[in-house]
């Protein structure tokens, strides 16, 4: 019986791995899509591969984004793997790890049916494919996050604390918000080890692990401060009400349920979200509130003696509470970054796990109700899967954002690609040009006196006519290409004084 159950579990994991990986392959069959952020990630990856540090598109030290994702890209660049293949491998591996880990969490605490549905939902929801079809740091961050939770709960090898320390550092270097995910995980890790090592030893070991992992984080923040006087790059607060901003988080969680991801829409208030998302927001709030009540009741009645199921509940509810509150506070006081799908997607696995365990609790020993719930969840997952197939086919046919076919095939970009490989390129919008020009670095017009990092023959300046920055055009330089999109100036030989052409 045990062997049959194990075989069934292995087969479930194989199916999940195939499905989640296949979705990503279809969505990226014409290439992984790039946004403005992606250009800096790839540029930093290429600079790291050349042992020049984490430099952005314009060759300046990057502070606003951490170097973890670029370091993954750099691995492929260093051994000569095409950039797109490296990005695709990262996204496929991340999606597979995420779905399998969700299965492992739920199957330890509930039925295999509940675990498979939960993991299949994560693999098939449009919310996830909207991330894994982009060159963004979110997919590997989520993968490292679920692995960290798994290690904190169940990995008891003697290398446990070393591995946890490495994972904590990885979370920070993939996304600066990593420490706000680390905090709940450390608490649960202490509770887990207290059962076998005792409270004092458990606290001491995990405090030491955390302290050591903070050293490289602090070193990087100090590096940023030396460069531009900030810890994580210049940012502008959004302002407004904390409580109203908090409702946006649950509005986004509602879109996780209603299959309505978004990354370019700014909803003024939660009542502007689609009606289905508002209903999903209410459902999310109810489920999270009940989960919090369950954890508090267990802690009080059992004197903090938590079962495996309790610990899984605790860590995921803790992640939801901490990151939700932090995200709202950050928006109001630190960064104008709306609480959209991309910002809140790291909580998708936790929300799915908590929901799966919630329904498992509610339907235990209730066969009829349980069958209805299972049928409803299967139908919801199938609905998400149908939308994901639609989106994956659409994304795969024509990439998104800056890497769409329209942008790649602009005559301006074709002309820039026709320039000699040893040309030095300047632009008023380096990120917009980087993907299509496929050259690094692309300096801004305010870097004309900075030395070019590699040997070059001739300099050109590419200006987008409708971009907001129009200052410092080299108006005395001859125009070698012009159309309604942009203008290309010849600013002379690299051996000449650039100021002769750039007045």
pTM of the model: 0.94
Q: How many CB atoms lie within 10 A of CB 201?
A: 12
Q: Which pLDDT score is estimated for 4?
A: 59
C-alpha angle 448-52-235 in degrees, rounded to nearest 5: 70
Given a contact cutoff of 8 angstroms between Cβ atoms, the answer to whether 51 and 78 are in contact is no
Residue 433 token pair: 């040009």
Q: What is the pLDDT of residue 40?
A: 94
Q: What is the CA radius of gyration of the chain?
A: 25
Supply the pLDDT for residue 118: 96
What parts of the chain have a pLDDT lower than 70? 1-5, 7-8, 264, 503
Instruction: Give residue 453's pLDDT.
Output: 83
**Token output for 310:** 């309790």
Domain edges within the chain? 2-397, 409-500
Q: Tell me the C-alpha to C-alpha distance, in Å, between residue 32 and each of 44, 123, 209, 395.
A: 17, 18, 36, 9
pLDDT tens for 268-320 read 888 899 999 999 999 999 999 999 998 888 888 877 788 888 999 999 999 99
Task: Report pLDDT digits (tens) over 5-29.
Answer: 676 677 888 999 999 999 999 999 9
Return the pLDDT at 473.
87
- Closest to 178 (Cα-Cα) out of 332, 84, 319: 319
* Residue 269 zone, left/alpha/beta (φ > 0; ψ -120 to 50; rest): beta
For the chain, what is the total number of helices (H) and then of strands (E)?
A: 19, 5
Coil, helix or strand for 88? helix
Residue 445 DSSP label? G
Reference 485, options 457, 459, 466, 458; nearest CA is 466
Q: What is the DSSP letter of 304?
A: T
The pLDDT value recorded for residue 1 is 56
| Distance, CA of 204 to CA of 300 (rounded, Å) | 24
For residue 20, give the nearest of 127, 109, 100, 104 by alpha carbon.
100
Backbone angles phi, psi at 402, to 5 degrees: -65, -25
Residue 7: predicted pLDDT: 66
Helices 430-437 and 36-49: crossing angle, nearest 10°? 60
User: How many CB atoms are located within 10 Å of the residue 286 CB?
Assistant: 11
The predicted structure's pLDDT at residue 467 = 86
């Amino acid at each position: 019986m045990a062997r049959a159950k194990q075989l069934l579990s292995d087969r479930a994991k194989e199916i999940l791995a195939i499905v989640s990986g296949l979705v990503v392959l279809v969505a990226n069959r014409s290439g992984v899509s790039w946004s403005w952020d992606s250009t800096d990630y790839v540029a930093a990856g290429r600079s790291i591969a050349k042992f020049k540090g984490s430099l952005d598109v314009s060759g300046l030290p990057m502070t606003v984004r951490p170097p973890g994702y670029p370091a993954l890209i750099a691995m492929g660049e260093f051994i000569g793997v095409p950039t797109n293949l490296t990005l695709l491998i990262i996204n496929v591996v991340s999606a597979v790890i995420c779905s399998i880990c969700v299965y492992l969490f739920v199957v330890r605490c509930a039925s295999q049916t509940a675990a498979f549905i939960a993991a299949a939902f994560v693999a098939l929801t449009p919310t996830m494919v909207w991330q894994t079809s982009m060159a963004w740091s979110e997919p590997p961050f989520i993968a490292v996050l679920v692995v960290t939770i798994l290690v904190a709960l169940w990995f008891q090898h003697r290398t446990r604390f070393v591995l946890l320390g490495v994972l904590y550092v990885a979370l920070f270097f993939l996304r600066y918000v990593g420490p706000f995910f680390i905090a709940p995980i450390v608490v649960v890790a202490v509770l887990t080890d207290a059962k076998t090592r005792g409270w004092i030893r458990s606290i001491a070991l995990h405090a030491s692990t955390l302290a050591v992992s903070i050293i490289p984080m602090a070193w990087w923040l100090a590096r940023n401060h030396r460069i531009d006087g900030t810890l994580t790059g210049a940012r502008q607060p959004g302002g407004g009400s904390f409580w109203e901003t908090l409702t946006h988080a649950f509005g986004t969680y509602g879109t996780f349920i209603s299959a309505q991801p978004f990354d370019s829409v700014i909803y003024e208030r939660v009542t502007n979200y689609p009606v289905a998302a508002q209903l999903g927001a209410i459902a999310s709030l109810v489920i999270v509130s009940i989960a919090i009540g369950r954890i508090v009741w267990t802690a009080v009645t059992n004197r903090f003696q938590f079962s495996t199921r309790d610990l899984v509940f605790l860590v995921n509810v803790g992640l939801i509470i901490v990151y939700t509150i932090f995200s709202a506070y950050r928006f109001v006081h630190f960064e104008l970054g709306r609480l959209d799908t991309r910002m809140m997607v790291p909580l998708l696995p936790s929300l799915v796990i908590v929901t799966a365990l919630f329904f498992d609790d509610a339907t235990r020993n209730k066969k009829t109700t349980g069958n209805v719930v299972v049928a409803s969840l299967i139908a919801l997952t199938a609905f998400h899967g149908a939308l994901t197939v639609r989106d994956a086919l659409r994304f795969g046919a024509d990439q998104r954002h800056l890497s769409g076919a329209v942008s790649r095939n602009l005559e301006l970009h074709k002309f820039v690609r026709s320039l000699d490989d040893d040309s030095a390129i300047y632009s008023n919008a380096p990120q917009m040009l980087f993907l299509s020009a496929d050259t690094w670095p692309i300096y801004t017009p305010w870097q004309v006196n900075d030395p070019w990092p590699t040997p070059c023959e001739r300099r050109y300046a590419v200006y987008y006519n409708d971009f907001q920055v129009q200052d410092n055009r080299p108006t005395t330089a001859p125009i070698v290409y012009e159309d309604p999109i942009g203008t290309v100036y010849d600013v002379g030989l690299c051996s000449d004084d650039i100021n002769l052409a750039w007045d």
